[in-house]
Amino acid sequence: MNSHIDYQSAEDQRDVVVDVISRLAEGEVMQTTIDTGVVQVGWSQRPAAIERMAGNLKAGQHLCLCVAGYHQALDYLEEISDMGRRLMTRCWPGGLQLEVPVDLPFGLLEGLPSSTQQRLSMGRRLRLLSPKSQFIRDLQKLLSGPLVLTSPVPVAKVSATSPPSGDEELPAGCDFCVETGPCHSTQGPTIVELKKDDWSVVQPGMLTRAFLKQMTGTSYLFVCTGNTCRSPMAEGLFRKMLAEKLQCETSDLPEKGYLVGSAGVSAGNGYPASPEAVQLLLDEGVNIGDHTSRQLSEELLDQTDHILTLTNSHRQAILMSRPDLEGKIRLLSPEGRDVSDPIGGGLAEYEACKSEIESYLKLLLDEIE
């Protein structure tokens, strides 16, 4: 069998994926490169492969459960704090490796072979990765159980900057290597330990502590239909009002722990805010001239702490597909009133809409200490 496979240049990458899955199912161990470095990969349902990987760990390395993202992580953890959810939804896929305390195997973790459970929870911690790798994603879609990865080793720290080719010797413990293209990161993942409602950096990496601090901030998302009028005005006004309350610049809000955005349930991506909305807010010293509309997505819904809709219909439209969001989605109006869409109206309609939004934002601001 071929010991060196080129996924990147393959005519049909699906054939490579099927071949690799077959070999992992036979208990083989693979080496490949992901966004944060070089890893060895085995299938969780093959204990012998996981034992081989454990036996070849370098100093400071661990075995990690590879998940597709936040929702899959929920299948393996008894609970995830708001802080953990924010980090997972905002930093995955990518250069974040999480360490989560575990007492007993939970959820789908209990369905893994006992030796694999033990290896993954060494030191009473479960380590999780969600790589930014199309190849790994392709494998995850077809495998019935999770992959297990070794902690990524930055390319600069391994003897070769890419998996070997030709007749070169395979890395220790590996049966084959897959070439997925160059890895541009020289730092490896940032390893973060979750502690209930807190977190700490265990090992620095490609994500800085300052960036992670911003990603753990409380987020507000204003939602209307097209994201060109009502929700951009709410976003711009709230940024200004919140910055004034915190006595900082609007650009400093992420550092203060607040993220503010907007989206539309039926929005097209990339459209500017309406000229009337831009002009009205400029009169207030708020510039939304560079705003571009965006469609409300599952990722945005997962990432946001407070979802504020401009009408009841917007709220119901979201809850129809995501009833789990009941606790964090509400109308901007505390009285349950809809904010009418001024599109197609004159400047007076836009002014009335802005004033109404502003009055509700003042009440929202009172909730923030």
Cα–Cα nearest to 55, from 65, 38, 42:
42
| Cβ-based neighbour number of residue 15 at 10 Å | 11
| 252's tokens | 């400093």
Known catalytic residue: 19?
A: no
Contacts of 201 (CB under 8 A, 6+ apart): 190, 191, 192, 209, 212
How far is Cα of residue 296 from the mean position of the Cα atoms in its chain?
Answer: 15
| 81, 83, 134, 213, 320 from 216: Cα distances, Å | 11, 6, 26, 5, 28
Which of 224, 239, 294, 302 does the annotation list as catalytic? 224
Which of 230, 239, 294, 315 does the annotation list as catalytic? 230
SS3 360: helix
CA–CA dist 82, 216 (Å, integer):
9
Known catalytic residue: 177?
A: no
Known catalytic residue: 248?
A: no
How far is Cα of residue 126 from the mean position of the Cα atoms in its chain?
Answer: 18
Give catalytic residues, as residue numbers.
224, 230, 341
